[in-house]
């Protein structure tokens, strides 16, 4: 089967929202998923996303990212989510989405691409290591809820 990687459009948000919810369940944190489709539409200018689409024009994966600045390294890109539906895993879509985000980071002249991975997700950890990622366990996530 042939897949296309493209920038997400507003018309894709409903499907992306559904996949984000599915991803939250996959990573065992569904209670943290609080974004609504309405809020996504309101905040659309902040959403940067690539989607993987099959020949039937169904979105079967996505990657969200944003530009940021790290004081130790400078302008960088943060990969927020990388998700492919279960039935399409193993077809190279995760790699294609990762390559597209990496390409975007290089195009933006970023010093690095950074992301998180769940400690229990050995498949993802190995996927990232094969791509040259350095996985450290020095940092701990901190969230301060504002709304």
Q: Which residues are catalytic?
A: 128
Residue 51 · residue 114 · CB < 8 Å: no
Six-digit token string for 44: 């659309």
Q: What is the DSSP string of 2-60?
A: -EEEEE--GGGHHHHHHHHHHHHHHTT-GGG----HHHHHHTGGG-EEEEEEETT--EE
Q: Compute CA distances 62 → 7, 81, 82, 145, whole Å.
A: 9, 7, 6, 25
């Amino acid at each position: 089967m042939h897949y296309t990687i493209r920038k997400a459009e507003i018309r894709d948000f409903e499907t992306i929202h559904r996949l984000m919810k599915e991803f939250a369940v996959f990573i065992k944190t569904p209670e943290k998923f609080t974004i609504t489709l309405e809020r996504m539409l309101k905040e659309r200018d902040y959403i940067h996303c690539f989607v993987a689409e099959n020949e039937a024009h169904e979105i079967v994966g996505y990657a969200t990212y944003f530009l940021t600045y790290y004081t130790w390294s400078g302008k960088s890109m943060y990969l927020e989510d990388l998700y492919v539906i279960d039935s399409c895993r193993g077809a190279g879509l995760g790699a294609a989405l990762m390559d597209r985000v990496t390409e975007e980071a290089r195009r933006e002249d970023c010093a690095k691409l950074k992301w998180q991975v769940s400690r229990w997700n050995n498949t993802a950890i190995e996927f990232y290591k094969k791509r040259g990622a350095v996985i450290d366990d020095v940092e701990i996530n901190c969230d301060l809820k504002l709304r």
